[in-house]
Chain A
Amino acid sequence: MSSRPLFSVGINFIVGWGAVLLLVFPIIWMLLTSFKTEIDAISPEASLIFQPTLDNYRAVLGRSNYWMFALNSVGISAAATFLALLIGFPAAYSMAFHPTERTKGTLLWLLSTKMMPPVGVLVPIYILFKDMSLIDTHLGLILLFLVANLPIVVWMLYSFFKDIPRDILEAARIDGAGLWEEFRFILLPLSGPAISSTALLSIILCWNEAFWSINLSTTKAATLAAFIATYSAPQGLFWAKLSAAAVLAVAPVLIMGWVGQRHLVRGLTFGAVK
């Protein structure tokens, strides 16, 4: 490889980086715009050369309700993810280490629940939530995010568990470890990476979820995704503030995605690509 001519390395460098920068250009543009004044944001002369300002961030963060939306996103994503792991972990454990003839069917059935389009049940969920006073509540969104992510959580954990040699658990059992000891002293320490990657994917999916949060939350329980949607109205004319709010909303998940990239693949492909 080292004998490769410098010229071709140069071409690869230019074409590779050119393509990637073109792809992420909208994000770069959003970041630039977030540091412009509203006037600069819409004037072609100030496209690249402008006096940067933090005013937009001050304005967005100064809105008393911004922090509420951010906290809603954090709280709802965390709670839904925790519940999905709590319910999904035992199921994944059981199917990975003690498979029966029904395991394959169960796994495929879990996956098939993802095939149901949310809009197909929008009406009954709206009516049920209205009757149970769950509209615009944290609990309501947590429940919806839980059922949306549970199949993915089970599949991802299952796929990780399949890579743990079964003999380790068998050995513990022969030594007299009960279910709880097996869980606590063998499986839990071994499944750190599995749990953290699964939690990461679930949090990212919850954070970015827009269908239920737009339709079933208004003020109290609205997440950042729903908050940003309100910028489609006349407020959207304030591009610099929109950009600043957008940067703040996507930054946490973008960073998590960059860090966890490799581990997310397994969950996103139901274990088919690792």
Chain B
Amino acid sequence: MNTATPASQLANSIAAPSADNDRSFRNTYLIAPSVAVLLVWISVPTIMTFWFSFQHYNLVNTAGREFVGLDNYIYFFSSSSLAIAAFNSVLIVVGVVVLTIGIGIGLVLLLDIEFPGSSFARVLAISPFFIMPTVAALIWKNLLLDPVNGLFTTILRAVGLPGVDWFGVFPLMSIITIIAWQWVGFSVLILLTALQSLDRELKEAAAMDGAGSFAIFRFIILPHLARPIGIVVMIETIFLLSVFAEIFVTTSGGPGLASTNLSFLIYVQALLRFDVGLASAGGVISIILANVVAYFLAKAVSRSLEI
């Protein structure tokens, strides 16, 4: 944070020491509530999760509660469920990020051009992002993807093809589709805002110099969008590692573990089987995974954040 102007540095150096102390005291108590609230939120439950993860502890039968060392972790790492769930978590993130960035760029290129009603179309295009996850998932599950009466089945039948049990045959892909639909709204919102701040004269000058559409895209638009794309990837990754509701209302993680991600696996252990110890071990693993991912993402894009 070295944005202090020479003038204010001078002012600070002239100001009496007592005023300086006064100011730093004031800063502390203005920031303290936010930091305190979040510090409690971040530390207390995390320490508890960590503590529980070394215990055999079931809420249904608390009598057998005991310290079991790494047993919960050993159980997780020796059963295939953790690997499958972690893999599915990553697949959801990668699938949705790739789809939303790809489709998002395509859409904003179309929407950046002026045409009759284009400003209205731009507003409409972000709508999916504001649809709550439970609504989005249930509308897709029933109205569109239902194997008997869904619209996709109706369309398939109209061209002589049989209906498909999307969630049975392609469970994870169906979920990725639903989530990607929601988050395309997000990437359009961010990328379009960024693209509209691009100087139009720059594009026109390039066109006059004989640059083709692709060259303009490759050398003017894409570099301009690099930073916002990084931001979109970071924010989507943070939220998508914790996808839950879309799985909860559609497949319940099935068939088998085919659409279970880490969030859902831990939910099953915690609130359906009441196995505190195992769920906590899963929780610790998910916290570690999220932080590893966040660390690398933050390193990659933190320079984009204006502080």
Residues of A bordering B, CB below 8 Å: 1, 9, 12-13, 15-17, 19-20, 23-24, 26-27, 29-30, 33, 41-44, 47, 87-88, 90-91, 93-95, 98-101, 103-104, 106-128, 146-147, 150-151, 154, 159, 162, 166, 179, 204, 207-208, 210-211, 214-215, 224-226, 228-229, 231-232, 236, 239, 242-243, 246, 249-250, 253-254, 256-258, 261-262, 264-265, 268-274
Given contacts A208-B132, A265-B189, 13 further A-B contacts (CB under 8 A): A13-B115, A16-B111, A23-B181, A90-B31, A98-B27, A117-B287, A119-B262, A122-B283, A123-B279, A128-B45, A225-B134, A265-B193, A272-B304
For the residues of B in contact with A, the DSSP-based class is helix
For the residues of A in contact with B, the DSSP-based class is helix
Contact yes or no, B33 A87, CB < 8 A: yes
Select which of B23, B158, B235, B263 is within 8 A of A268 by beta carbon: B235
B73 on the A face (CB < 8 A): no
Most chain A Cβ neighbours within 10 Å, of B35, B45, B124, B267: B45
Contact yes or no, B121 A20, CB < 8 A: yes
Which residues in chain B, 221-273, are within 8 Å of chain A measured between CB atoms? 227-228, 231-232, 235, 238, 241-242, 244-245, 248-250, 262-263, 266-267, 270-271
A212 to chain B, nearest CB (A): 10
A27, closest chain B residue (CB): B127
Contact yes or no, A42 B37, CB < 8 A: no
Contact yes or no, B189 A261, CB < 8 A: yes
B111 to chain A, nearest CB (A): 6
Contact yes or no, A106 B154, CB < 8 A: no
Report chain B residues within 8 Å CB of A93.
Answer: 30
Report chain A residues within 8 Å CB of B157.
Answer: 44
Report chain A residues within 8 Å CB of B190.
Answer: 265, 268-269, 273
Chain B interfacial residues counted at CB < 8 A: 106
Known contacts A33-B143, A91-B34, A268-B186; decide if A249 and B283 are in contact (CB<8 Å).
no
Contact yes or no, A269 B228, CB < 8 A: yes
Contact yes or no, B245 A99, CB < 8 A: no
B301, closest chain A residue (CB): A272
B70 on the A face (CB < 8 A): no
Stretch at the interface among B46-54, B76-84, B168-176, B210-218: B46-54
Contact yes or no, A254 B31, CB < 8 A: no
Contact yes or no, A94 B30, CB < 8 A: yes
Contact yes or no, A110 B134, CB < 8 A: no
Contact yes or no, A117 B24, CB < 8 A: no
B245, closest chain A residue (CB): A210
Contact yes or no, B143 A26, CB < 8 A: yes
B131 on the A face (CB < 8 A): yes
Report chain B residues within 8 Å CB of A204.
Answer: 130
A118 to B266, CA, bound (A): 11
Against A, the Cβ 8 Å flags (1 = close, 0 = not) of B165-207 are 0000000000000000100111001100110010000000000
